Structure 1
Amino acid sequence: MQNPPANTPKIDDSANADPSDGVDLVIETGASPPPARLEALVATATAYANAASSENTRSAYAKDWRHFTAWCRREGFDPMPPSSQVIGLYIGACASGTASGSVIGTTAGDRKRNAPPLSVATIERRLSGLAWNFTQRGAPIDRSDRHIATVLAGIRRKHGKPPRQKEAVLGEDIKAMVDTLGHDLRGLRDRAILLLGFAGGLRRSEIVGLDIVRDDHSDGHGWIEIFPGQGVLLTLRGKTGWREVEVGRGASDQTCPVVALERWIRFGRIARGPLFRRIFKDNKTIDVERLSDKHVARLVKQTALAAGVRADLPEAERAGLFAGHSLRAGLASSAEIEERYVQKQLGHASAEMTRQYQRRRDRFRTNLTKASGL
């Protein structure tokens, strides 16, 4: 096998490197500094490499790496090069609650590790973070290795629980939720967020990532184009690439997402930049910065509780039912239309994924028992 050229850029494989700021490409040129032309090429390649994953993803993976390396130091292991046996021990410690470095008490005798066991989903996500970090350091791991795969299978078998899905807000729920909002600037903005997010089947990051017009230099996830008398076309950059989402006009102006969007744009005087923005306490001044996606989650929860959605359940249980994903699941559960259209709107690659979002409360509408003659 031929050795790579001396000036070939490579990813920094230092165990202490923190990739939260992005991939770090370095050049090996011996004692002499790299030529300016090669430095420019590396800078360009680095920018593209960092664009392969979002800042939030890199930040989460960096936290996973810090947790793993801290555990290795406490247990006397070297994080690099990767060892499937050590990783198996680590995820086992995560499942048992012994992988945390936090302590309680003030004296040496009182100190003990104090952390609840991690869920199966968290352990799987953390394992993905470690795999990403090892790959960035030029030492990929084999997750199918028996020291990792068998431990993970045992964790799933012993600690796995049915998934807890967020409650879907249906069409009538959305109508009641927007009725709880005022008609000031904040109310106009939040009404447009709820109706557009529901009708478009959007993720909360997609909602706040919209710009009023196309801007190739924006940090957003897409833009809108309003077609008078018809609806609004959303061009979105999602996990699987670009897609277009059509949101048509509703039967009533009170609950029409397009009307709500037009009112927010007009009264908010949004001409360019982010579509949804923070509003200051005076309820008159609109910030230029993009609204946080956490606002969507809070908005859905607050309005659902205020509207009495799922009032048949205890208050403490209701508080944990709703989040930003309730809008996306709500469209899939409410739309009385062929499944393929819902699948396209949500941007799912398979109908199976779309069916996971369909959470109707009126179950057993199709009774196969009676249909079979019993």
Structure 2
Amino acid sequence: MLWRALILVMVAVVVSVCSMPQDGVESRFISIRRIIDTIISAGFPVEVHDVTTEDGYVLAMHRIPYGRSGPTAERRPVVFLMHGVMSASSHFVSLGADHSIAFNLADAGYDVWMGNARGNAYSRSHVSLNPDDSSEKMDFFDFSWEEIALIDLPAMIDFALAHTGQQKLHYIGHSQGGTVFLVLNSMKTEYNEKIASAHLLAGVGYMANFPNAPLRTIAAMTTPIYALLLSMGLVEISLDALPILLPNDGQKASDYCFGDIKYQAFCDMIGIDIILEDSIIFALEMGGSSIKQIAHYGQNIKDQAFRRWDHGIIRNRIIYGSITPPSYDISKITIDVTMHYSLGDILLDERDVLAMAAVMPNTVPRQISRASFLHVDYIASSDVKELVTDYIIEKLDAAEGR
């Protein structure tokens, strides 16, 4: 009976999250405008660029070309920021002018570009598919983070380089932003020549020691859960529905993390510290993803592996030539990479970070000095500047000969 209970728990979470309010389009529009207003009100310039992928997704990129001191004649190296799962570019500016990594980089003399993966609120568009149509949404959201890595990232990286006339950029990826970096540069190795250096902030790859026991339990049933959700027509996780997930009944948001198990699982996934501060609605309003992205992580957690999407034995044989999906060969990544990690992270284990760093020839692991630093703290904690960002800027300056 346990497997049935787990399915019901996962369905309850996803149904709650996927229930789109009637004014969902309007709320997304307001939120999209909010990041622009946030950047401008902080004293920074902002540009919005739309990039259309080879398979028709329209991705929004946000650019902060210079800092509060104004433009200069000197060349400003490009830094590309990529968000995590159910996240967006807005999270790189959510801590304000003095603590947000995007603002800090711009003030330090860098040309900052922030990407948005297909399916999140900024990139929820396609040249022919309507994500709100009951039929077309099945095709629109039929993607995992491998498509983001192999199609979205190259499109955005190439656009930023072409627009600025530069040959290389520096890459910073949080969580899934690290995952897609690993996938891209192990499968399309030519991008090793386009990225000067990389900083992965809790970049998720190897999962032999995934530390979160409740999510490990749910991940064991990934295949039947995902199949059930598809049969119900559920393909998207949208954080526009958070007010539905956490009802306005007089309780604080943190109360839900210690009650019903479906809320506990959601809180674990998002990050308990944000919820404890009751800032979850503001901090995460601009996220969203396909359920298949989560399912791909679930497959890897279950199999204690870092490998491609598992289609099942028969289709794996047809697509991959083997009954199991091939693993990503990250030893092919030759970029200078720093893998930032913390002991308090419930979604990434130190042993997996060290194992990845040992395989990648020019990679070093770096432990955050605060042991209680959480997976979400890279975008949610005000001390991220002193613990992470200042170090990154120092390394970027050294790489640029400043």
TM-score, normalised on structure 1? 0.28
Q: Which has the larger radius of gyration?
A: 1
| Greater RCO, CA 8 A, separation 6+ | 2
